[in-house]
A = this chain, B = another copy of it.
Amino acid sequence: METLNTEEITIKDIAKVCGVGVSTVSRAINNHPDISPKTKQKIADAIEEYGYIPNNSARNLRRIDGKCIAVVVKGVSNPLFADAVQIMEEEIKKRKYSMVIRYVNFDEQEVDVAIELAKEKKLAGVVFLGGYFVREKKKLQKLRIPFVLSTAGANVDNISAEEYSVFCVDDEKEGYRMTDYLIRLGHKKIAVLSGMPDDASIGKLRLKGYKRALKEHGIAVDEDLILHMKRDIRFYSMENGYQMTQELLTGRKEFTCIFAFSDAMAIGACRAIADAGKKVPDDYSVAGFDGIEMGDYYNPQLTTIKQPIHEIAMESVTMLFEILDKKSENVRRIFSCELLERESTRHRKVL
């Protein structure tokens, strides 16, 4: 038994204490504009003081109704997704659904997590953010609730538009775009910080684009300049980029430029170069991929491929709701990225 009996506090008690009507308290709670800031503050104070919790029965009913969307995010610490999650949350709330987020590690199967979640609670739909979905077709079909793949490396699996909705960028094309840009700056020896050796998703596709650009410019691919991330370090992280760049710097292979397959790895590369007493972009140019906020604030500012993460997030949720409302069939939308030319890359001085 608790010592305080605040559990039975109702909206009427709050109204009484404040000397206002119940409807005024209700308006204050729901943030209506037609209430004076002073009264609102008074009510807010009383609500806090008495520990009153708005008995939002409508909201609870909705929950019981299963009006919940799950967002399953691959990669706990990917800063690219923090904004996407916030946008999705707002859109989901606007439609009076509740949202549950689950973060899965790179070694977990996101589809299994979603299936487990669907057992636990009645989900209306699922957004997969940043997953891979290689050979996951059959598992996805077991979900039996609508879902969309957002910013996912789903190209690999040749998933067709009729079966699932996919919102992503063309990783091969964007890998090509950046490499082509770096070559035009005069770089011929471009090292890449890529995915795992057995990558079958975004890393593989970006690398394919890199190789195509070299080939088109008549530059031979040098396998020694293709570095793969370490398995025992967080994937696509600053630390992974740092380690790979240290290897490059202490190795015998000449290079004038680094193309990292994430901005975080590019930042790790910049730090490794600084620690070696060298400068970006004076000694080495460095380019990233993603367009995370930190790239704007880093010193030097990062040249990168900016993924339109806001648009992707918005469109993913909007389409999921259209599918739920049976207003749309499945779609496959490829978003175009933007190449941001900034401080970390420059023309290679011709010697």
Contact = CB atoms under 8 A, between A and B. Distances in A.
Interface in A162-219: none
A264 to B, nearest CB: 9
Interface stretch (A1-9, A250-258, A315-323): A1-9
A349 interface: no
Interface size class of A (residues with CB under 8 A): 35 or more
A136 B47 CA distance: 10
Interface string A22-54: 000000000000000000000000001111010
Interface stretch (A220-228, A295-303, A328-336): A295-303
The prevalent SS among residues of A at the interface is helix
Contacts of A101: 101-103
B76 A103 contact: no
Contacts of A239: 293
Nearest to A242: B297
Interface string A256-288: 000000000001101100100000000000000
Contacts of A144: 2
Contacts of A296: 271
Interface in A56-103: 59-60, 63, 76-77, 79, 82-83, 85-86, 100-103
A50 B135 CA distance: 10
Nearest to A77: B82
Contacts of A2: 141, 144
A299 B299 contact: yes
Most buried by B among A120, A299, A300: A299
Contact of A138 (B50, B116, B120): B50
A247 interface: no
A120 B119 contact: no
Nearest to A7: B142
A63 B120 contact: yes
B79 A79 contact: yes
A112 interface: yes
A86 B76 contact: yes
A238 B48 contact: no
Nearest to A103: B101
A59 B113 CA distance: 12
A342 interface: no
A323 to B, nearest CB: 17
A40 to B, nearest CB: 14
A161 interface: no
A51 B297 contact: no
Given A59-B116, A299-B300, 20 more contacts: A2-B141, A48-B139, A51-B137, A51-B139, A51-B142, A60-B119, A63-B120, A76-B82, A76-B85, A77-B79, A77-B83, A77-B86, A100-B100, A239-B293, A267-B294, A268-B297, A270-B297, A271-B297, A271-B299, A298-B298
6 tightest A-B contacts by CB? A51-B138, A77-B82, A271-B297, A51-B139, A299-B299, A238-B297
